[in-house]
Amino acid sequence: MELVTPGIGLLFWMLLSFGIVLYILKKFAWKPIIKAIKNREESIDNALQSAEKAKEEMSKLQDDNERIMLEAKKERDKLIKEAMTVKDKIVSEAKLKAEEESDKMIAKARLNIKNEKAAVVEELKQQIAELSVDIAEKILKQKLAEDKEQKELVSELLKDIKIN
């Protein structure tokens, strides 16, 4: 039974040494341990506050990012719309210019055709006149082979000239 129940002397010395250890811990170690715990608690609080601030800042940044994205999309849509109007304007101007050019080319071609036709008609008239003169000359040579016929023709022509 002695092993289960300690003796009074042992109990006294145990309490005395525990008290001395407790006194030494209280005098030298308790304050630094409490201070370290308080510092740790403050650093944890500071870290939590920093995390909360970072969370708020992240939320603000996300809101700003969404706003910037919306603005960028609006700007992109505006630029695309402007580009489409410019493209439509350029295409319509090109069509008008092409139509004007084709009209000018058609008018120029018609004028060229008209001028060439007039030149061909004039050349045909000239050739017909030359042929007519050649034919008339040949006919007159045959008809006026005799002097009497020549004198009659000259007198008729002189009468016609006087009348006119």
Domain ranges of the chain: 16-125
Tell me phi and psi for residue 6, to 5 degrees: -75, 160
Residue 112 has pLDDT above 50, yes or no: yes
Residue 92: pLDDT band with limits 50, 70, 90: very high
Cβ-based burial of 6 (10 A; exposed 0-12, middle 13-18, buried ≥19): exposed
pTM: 0.41
137 or 41, greater pLDDT: 41
The closest alpha carbon to 98, from 106, 87, 88, belongs to: 106
d(CA 94, CA 104): 15
Contacts of 150 (CB under 8 A, 6+ apart): 144
Q: How many CA atoms within 13 Å lie on the side-chain side of 9?
A: 0
Closest CA relative to residue 29, chosen from 14, 37, 15: 37
